[in-house]
Amino acid sequence: MKWRGHNARVDDNQKGIVKALREVPGISVVSIGKPLDLLVGYAGQTFLIEIKNPDGKDKRGQSWKNQLKFMQEWHGQSAVCDCVSQVLAVIAYVPPPSSNVVSLADLDMKDRHGRR
């Protein structure tokens, strides 16, 4: 599948989600933009994640159709998420017993508002 002409558009909530995920121990996050937004690594597995705005303001034109087709053809794990807790659920994240990870609700609020 060719991605010619696909301009990666960053959703409003993506930067906050990436920042919050990078604070979680044991998770690696790389913004890739094409064909989907993120590669998230956890527990020896890699997940393709597409971030969409929770308010439904996404422009679901040809680019979205190409993304859906790619996810259907992808032989790994992929998901569409709009907040940190959804990403953590997809990757089946389990915080280490001794970690000081803030609550999922706090991470979600931070990613939606871009602040602590």
Our CA angle for 93, 39, 92, nearest 5°, is 15
Query: Could you tell me which residue, 11 or 58, shows the higher pLDDT?
Result: 11
Mean residue pLDDT across the chain: 78
**Structural domain count of the chain:** 1
What is the residue range of 36's domain? Answer: 14-111
Residue 6 lies in a domain: no
Q: Is residue 86's pLDDT more than 80?
A: yes
- The whole-number average pLDDT for the span 77-94 is 92
Residues facing 29 on adjacent strands: 40
**CATH number (domain holding residue 41):** 3.40.1350
Residue 116 lies in a domain: no
Which of the listed ranges 9-18, 70-79, 82-91, 93-102 does the model predict with the highest average pLDDT?
82-91
Residue 83 lies in a domain: yes
What's the full length of the chain, in residues?
116
Q: Which residue has the tokens 């508002």?
A: 113
Q: Please give the distance of CA 81 from its chain centroid, rounded to a whole number.
A: 6
- Is the CB of residue 17 less than 8 Å from the CB of residue 107? no
